[in-house]
Amino acid sequence: MQKTISKNPIFFTQRTVLRVNKIVNSAQREVNLEKVLKQLTRIIDPIIEKLLISYVDKKFRKIVTYSISTGGKRLRPALAIISCKMLGGKIEDVLHPAAGLEIIHNYSLIIDDIIDNSLMRRKKPTLWHRFGESMALCGAIDYSATILQSANRSKNSTLVAELFAKTIKKLVDGEILDILFEQSGRENEPFVCQSRYKKITMNDYFEMVKGKTGALLQASCLLGGICANAKKKELKALKNYGLNLGIAFQIRDDILDIFGEEKKFGKKIGKDIEERKGGNVVIILALEELSLKERENFLKILKKRKKTKKDIERAVKILQKTRAKEEAFKLGEKFIKKAKKSLGNLPQNQYNEILKKITDFVIKREK
């Protein structure tokens, strides 16, 4: 332990390790899981920031720290820390790579916001909207370098680096599918226009979600196992838990995008409709149920290049006529049950119970 601290004194302190242990050990007794996540956020954020600003000129540090400063649940590092502790691992072995997971997540969001031309995230201007697209892309490159640093500061650096590389590539595959699921737009991009999906099946949707959302939550749990020297059977269970949790997370996100409360959700309601995205589970389920006329009316709105507020409201009303919301929620619960079942193959301790609480949080969250 002391050897690790002396090697990277700027990143670790004994007090940090003790604080994380205290939070994680008491988490089982916490009724409000969001409070626990906020406590872990206060621990992990300084580590993320120190990693991000290292080797970066002081004049430009506000660019690389902006996305992290806008908030977030820090669910991914929390999953890594709790999974590691569940298997008897040490906090100091997982903290830096856990910070790396959050950096990967925000790295993907920076790129996603540029691709989707998104102006707001977490109720604040996106990085590119705040500093410009060129500065956002430069900041994203800093994030990619920081991911390497976080992997290097881990116990099993080779395994962690390979996990991070594989995860990022899966995220990109999912992002490409998400773009190809758009029902119009990007006329200046021949490949997108030629490869666009005219009809999106549930299998197509799951392929996209496993990459865009499931891969990172899966990696979070696997990271905890790797840092705890988990057995193959345990890693398989963590992999299944994380993937199913990730799919449920995205299903809930899709529901909230259309039926959520904007103040609670922190994002613009109907954003997927505005961005012509067909890869939303509510939309896919609704299109299967709608009459031919209603389907044509909805798709006409979805494909419009510029939509008014009334257009989006009308599209949401069409979706409300179906059972898509209820069916989507049931589908999310199905994957939550699968995630919980995987926990049965892992040590039955207080950390396992926390992971169960996280599954309930994911499917019931309002933001």
For the whole model, what pTM was predicted? 0.92
CB 153 within 8 A of CB 8: yes
Q: For residues 298 and 311, what is the distance between their CA atoms, to the nearest angstrom?
A: 10
List all residues 6 or more positions away from 32 whose beta carbon is below 8 Å from its beta carbon.
none
Task: Give residue 96's pLDDT.
Answer: 97
> Phi/psi at 121 (nearest 5 deg)?
-150, 135
Structure token pair of residue 211: 């990459």
* Within a domain: 2: no
Task: Give residue 233's pLDDT.
Answer: 98
What CATH number did the domain enclosing 296 receive? Answer: 1.10.600.10
CB 317 within 8 A of CB 282: no
List all residues 6 or more positions away from 19 whose beta carbon is below 8 Å from its beta carbon.
43
CB 48 within 8 A of CB 71: no
Q: At what angle do helices 61-69 and 91-116 cross, to 10 degrees?
A: 100
Which residues constitute the domain of residue 90? 7-364
Residue appearing with tokens 């390790």? 17
Task: Give residue 38's pLDDT.
Answer: 83
List all residues 6 or more positions away from 195 whose beta carbon is below 8 Å from its beta carbon.
180
Task: Give residue 57's pLDDT.
Answer: 98
* Within a domain: 146: yes
CB 200 within 8 A of CB 160: no
Instruction: Specify the number of domains making up the chain.
Output: 1
Secondary structure class of 86 (helix, strand, coil): helix
> What is the rounded radius of gyration, in angstroms, for the C-alpha atoms of the chain?
21
Residue of 270, 246, 276 lying closest to 186 (CA atoms) = 276
- The region, left, alpha or beta by phi > 0 then psi within -120 to 50, assigned to residue 346 is beta
Residues counted in the chain: 367
Q: For residues 357 and 261, what is the distance between their CA atoms, to the nearest angstrom?
A: 23
Task: Give residue 4's pLDDT.
Answer: 40
- What are 347's strand-pairing partners? none
Q: For residues 92 and 13, what is the distance between their CA atoms, to the nearest angstrom?
A: 9
* Within a domain: 1: no
Task: Give residue 14's pLDDT.
Answer: 65
CB 333 within 8 A of CB 357: no
- What are 125's strand-pairing partners? 120
| Start-end of H helices in the chain | 2-7, 14-26, 33-53, 61-69, 75-86, 91-116, 127-131, 133-152, 157-180, 190-195, 202-209, 215-227, 232-259, 262-265, 271-274, 281-289, 292-303, 309-320, 324-343, 350-364
- Count Cα neighbours of 289 within 13 Å in the Cβ-side half-sphere: 17
- What are 121's strand-pairing partners? 124
Residue appearing with tokens 């020297």? 229
Task: Give residue 32's pLDDT.
Answer: 65
* Rounded mean pLDDT for each run of 10 residues along the chain, 367 residues in total: 40 66 63 76 94 98 96 94 96 96 97 94 94 98 97 95 98 98 97 97 98 98 98 98 98 94 73 96 98 97 94 96 97 98 96 93 87
* Within a domain: 119: yes
